[in-house]
Amino acid sequence: MLPAPSLFGDAVLLQEKIIVRQLGLQPYEPVSQAMHQFTDEREETTPDEIWLVEHTPVFTQGQAGKAEHVLMPGDIPVIQSDRGGQVTYHGPGQQVMYVMLDLRRRKLGVRELVTLLEQTVVNTLAEWNINAYPRPDAPGVYVDGKKICSLGLRIRKGCSFHGLALNINMDLRPFLRINPCGYAGMEMTQVSALSAGANPEAVQPRLVHHFLALLNNPPAEYISA
């Protein structure tokens, strides 16, 4: 696993507290609205936050999304999002991690944050003996050419929101109704298909652990919904 200092230089020196909110299973829109409100209202001294959530079934279209990539939505709602990227699917059994960081305060660039999130997933999956890797041509994390984690971010006032979605133990069939992230025929996979018994309850704390480790282990306060 990659040590944090070699990746992010000065960015790892900040030791300000991060609040980690465990939200459980939630519809997408109320969480998205709360995330926007948090970002709009935060001040220079507002602590950074991580939100952990599983969403009820939904397709979300990013800023680069095209209608033709939504093939057969059926009874699953399609919601426009202001994150980067194109269309993806969220559903139970997928761990979503939203990261609300003051990038200026942490001396992180956007590309560094993307790298940090990808490496977080790579390091987490290594604990399940899964050899995962990012791709320079398509943000996210992959295993044997199949996508296991999607990324999408937005930056406002120097602060990040949105984040990553890691497929753990979910129904992957809705991905067949779209061109995931705009790629026709993109195959998806999940942790449970590669490591028997994997579930969000086991993976979630390790995901947070590795994310905080790459930030040089700032103090964290955990809050459950």
Q: What is the pLDDT of residues 32-53, one digit of tens each?
A: 999 999 999 999 999 999 999 9
Mean pLDDT for the stretch of residues 174-182 = 78
Q: Of the listed 159, 181, 203, 215, which one is catalytic?
A: 181
Read off the pLDDT of residues 88-124 as tens digits, 9 standing for 90 and up.
899 999 999 999 999 999 999 999 999 999 999 999 9
pLDDT higher than 70, residue 64: no
What pLDDT does residue 182 have?
Answer: 65
CATH number of the domain bearing residue 22: 3.30.930.10
pLDDT higher than 60, residue 28: yes
Give the residue numbers of the binding site: 83-90, 150-152, 163-165
Helix 110-126 vs helix 200-214: crossing angle, to nearest 10? 130
Q: How confident is the model at residue 197 (pLDDT cuts 50, 70, 90)?
A: confident
CA distance 209 to 171: 26
CA distance 47 to 44: 9
Q: Please, which residues have CB within 8 angstroms of residue 73's CB and are 6 or more apart in sequence?
A: 59, 177, 178
H-type alpha helices, 107-199: 110-126, 191-194
Structurally, how many domains does the chain consist of? 1
Give the residue numbers of the binding site for substrate: 83-90, 150-152, 163-165
Phi/psi at 140 (5° precision): 130, -170
Mean pLDDT for the stretch of residues 187-209 = 95
Active site residue 159: no
State the DSSP H helix or E strand holding residue 206, giving kind and residue range, or none if neither: helix 200-214
What pLDDT does residue 29 have?
Answer: 96
What pLDDT does residue 178 have?
Answer: 76
Q: How confident is the model at residue 167 (pLDDT cuts 50, 70, 90)?
A: very high
Q: 185 lies in which domain range?
A: 4-224
What pLDDT does residue 154 have?
Answer: 92
Q: How confident is the model at residue 87 (pLDDT cuts 50, 70, 90)?
A: confident
Read off the pLDDT of residues 119-154 as tens digits, 9 standing for 90 and up.
999 999 999 999 999 998 888 999 999 999 999 999
CA distance 134 to 118: 6
Mean pLDDT for the stretch of residues 180-187 = 73
